[in-house]
Structure 1
Amino acid sequence: MATTYTWSWTLLAFILTWMVFHLIKRKKVGTEEIEVEAEETRDGEADVIIVGAGVAGAALAYALAKDGRRVHVIERDLKEPQRFMGELMQPGGRLMLAQLGLEDCLEEIDAQEIKSLAIYKDGKNDTLYFPNNKKFPYEPAGRLLRNGRLVQRLRKKAASHVNVQLEEGTVKSLIEEKGVVKGVIYKNSAGENITAFAPLTVVCDGCYSNLRRSAVDNKEEVLSYFVGYVTKNTRLEDPHSMHLIFSKPLPCVVYHITSNEVRCAAEVPADSIPSMANGEMVNYLKNTLAPQIPDGNLRETFLKGVEEGLLEIKTTATKSMSAKPCDKKGVIVLGDAFNMRHPIIASGMMVALSDVLILRNLLRPLPSFSNAKKVLELVKSFYIIRKPMSATVNTLAHVFSEVLVATTDEAREGMRQSCFKYLSSGGFRTSGMMAILGGMNPRPLSLVFHLVCITLTAMGHLLSPFPSPRRFWHSLRVFALALKMLGKHLGDEGLKEMLIPINAASYRRNYMATASDC
Structure 2
Amino acid sequence: MAFVEVCLWTLLAVVLSWTIFHVTKTMKKATKLADVAAEEKRDGVPDVIIVGAGVGGSALAYALAKDGRRVHVIERDMREPVRMMGECMQPGGRLLLSKLGLQDCLEGIDAQKSTGLALFKDGKETLTSFPMDTNFPYEPYGRFFHNGRFVQRLRQKASSLPNVRLEEGTVRSLIEEKGVVKGVTYKNSSGEETTAFAPLTVVCDGCHSNLRRFLNNNNAEVTAYEIGYISKNCRLENPDKLHLIMAKPSFAMLYQISSTDVRCNFELLSNNLPSVSNGEMASFVKNSIAPQVPLKLRKTFLKGLDEGANIKITQAKRMPATLSGKKGVIVLGDAFNMRHPVIASGMMVLLSDILILSRLLKPLGNLGDSNQVSEVMKSFYVLRKPMSATVNTLGNAFWQVLIASKDEAKEAMRQGCFDYLSSGGVRTSGMMAMFGGMNPMPLCLIYHLFVITLFSIGQLLSPFPTPLRIWHSLRLFGLSLKLLVPHLKAEGVSQMLSPANAVAYRKSYMDATVV
Distance 1:63 1:133 in 2: 31
Distance 1:142 1:206 in 2: 23
1:279-358 alignment, distance < 5 Å: 279-296=279-296, 298-308=297-307, 310-358=308-356
Distance 1:23 1:88 in 2: 59
The partner residue of 1:388 within 386, 391, 397 is 386
1:140-159 alignment, distance < 5 Å: 140-159=140-159
1:2-151 alignment, distance < 5 Å: 18=15, 21-22=18-19, 24-43=21-40, 45-151=45-151
Q: Which consecutive residues of structure 1, in runs of 5 or more, have no partner in the other structure?
A: none
- Which amino acid in 2 is paired with 1:205? D
Identity of aligned residues (%): 58
- Flag the 1:413–1:47 CA change in 2: closer, same or farther, 3 A: same
1:372-411 alignment, distance < 5 Å: 372-411=370-409
SS in 1 for 2:507: helix
**Contact map agreement 1:40 1:198 (CA 8 A) in 2:** no
- Flag the 1:466–1:20 CA change in 2: closer, same or farther, 3 A: farther
- Flag the 1:32–1:20 CA change in 2: closer, same or farther, 3 A: same
Residue 220 (structure 2) aligns with: 220
- Which amino acid in 2 is paired with 1:226? E
SS in 2 for 1:416: helix
Of 200-209 and 458-467, deviating more is 458-467
Q: CA deviation at 1:24?
A: 3.6
- Which amino acid in 2 is paired with 1:34? T
Distance 2:32 2:360 in 1: 23
**Contact map agreement 1:179 1:328 (CA 8 A) in 2:** yes
1:476-515 alignment, distance < 5 Å: 476-515=474-513
Q: CA deviation at 1:285?
A: 1.4
Distance 1:126 1:286 in 2: 25
Q: CA deviation at 1:283?
A: 2.2
**Contact map agreement 1:41 1:370 (CA 8 A) in 2:** no
Distance 1:130 1:13 in 2: 74
**Contact map agreement 1:223 1:270 (CA 8 A) in 2:** no
CA RMSD, 1 decimal: 1.8
Of 332-341 and 464-473, deviating more is 464-473
Q: CA deviation at 1:513?
A: 0.8
Of 127-136 and 323-332, deviating more is 127-136
**Contact map agreement 1:93 1:353 (CA 8 A) in 2:** yes
Q: CA deviation at 1:279?
A: 3.0
**Contact map agreement 1:138 1:515 (CA 8 A) in 2:** no
- Flag the 1:17–1:55 CA change in 2: closer, same or farther, 3 A: same
Q: CA deviation at 1:304?
A: 1.1
Distance 1:177 1:133 in 2: 54
- Which amino acid in 1 is paired with 2:342? I
- Which amino acid in 2 is paired with 1:140? P
Distance 1:311 1:429 in 2: 39
SS in 2 for 1:312: coil
Distance 1:247 1:37 in 2: 61
- Flag the 1:462–1:26 CA change in 2: closer, same or farther, 3 A: farther
SS in 1 for 2:201: strand
Distance 1:248 1:400 in 2: 15
SS in 1 for 2:195: strand
- Which amino acid in 2 is paired with 1:157? K
TM-score (norm 1): 0.95
Distance 1:212 1:39 in 2: 29
Distance 2:470 2:66 in 1: 60
Residue 245 (structure 2) aligns with: 245
**Contact map agreement 1:324 1:338 (CA 8 A) in 2:** yes
- Which amino acid in 2 is paired with 1:188? N
Distance 2:75 2:52 in 1: 5
Q: CA deviation at 1:306?
A: 1.5
Residue 267 (structure 1) aligns with: 267
Q: CA deviation at 1:288?
A: 1.6
Distance 2:16 2:449 in 1: 57
Q: CA deviation at 1:21?
A: 3.4
SS in 2 for 1:324: coil
- Which amino acid in 1 is paired with 2:353? D
**Contact map agreement 1:327 1:376 (CA 8 A) in 2:** no
- Flag the 1:91–1:11 CA change in 2: closer, same or farther, 3 A: farther
Q: CA deviation at 1:292?
A: 1.4
**Contact map agreement 2:229 2:309 (CA 8 A) in 1:** no
- What is the CA deviation profile of residues 227-263 of structure 1, one whole-angstrom value per residue up to 9, with x for unaligned ones? 1111111111111111001111110110000011000
Q: CA deviation at 1:41?
A: 4.4
Q: CA deviation at 1:293?
A: 1.4
Distance 1:132 1:106 in 2: 22
Q: CA deviation at 1:276?
A: 2.1
**Contact map agreement 2:440 2:502 (CA 8 A) in 1:** yes
Q: Which consecutive residues of structure 2, in runs of 5 or more, have no partner in the other structure?
A: none
The 4+ residue runs of structure 1 with deviation greater than 4 A are 9-20
- Which amino acid in 2 is paired with 1:454? I
- Which amino acid in 1 is paired with 2:486? K
- Which amino acid in 1 is paired with 2:129? Y
- Which amino acid in 2 is paired with 1:480? G
Distance 2:24 2:334 in 1: 42
- What is the CA deviation profile of residues 56-77 of structure 1, one whole-angstrom value per residue up to 9, with x for unaligned ones? 0000000000100000000000
SS in 2 for 1:496: helix
Distance 2:66 2:154 in 1: 14
- What is the CA deviation profile of residues 205-234 of structure 1, one whole-angstrom value per residue up to 9, with x for unaligned ones? 011101111111120111111111111111
Q: CA deviation at 1:15?
A: 7.0
- Flag the 1:28–1:425 CA change in 2: closer, same or farther, 3 A: same
Q: CA deviation at 1:311?
A: 4.6
Of 37-46 and 75-84, deviating more is 37-46
Distance 2:16 2:502 in 1: 42
SS in 1 for 2:295: coil
Q: CA deviation at 1:459?
A: 1.4
**Contact map agreement 2:230 2:309 (CA 8 A) in 1:** no
Distance 2:304 2:434 in 1: 32
SS in 2 for 1:467: coil
Of 101-110 and 130-139, deviating more is 130-139
Distance 1:510 1:23 in 2: 42
- Flag the 1:23–1:92 CA change in 2: closer, same or farther, 3 A: farther
- Flag the 1:477–1:314 CA change in 2: closer, same or farther, 3 A: same
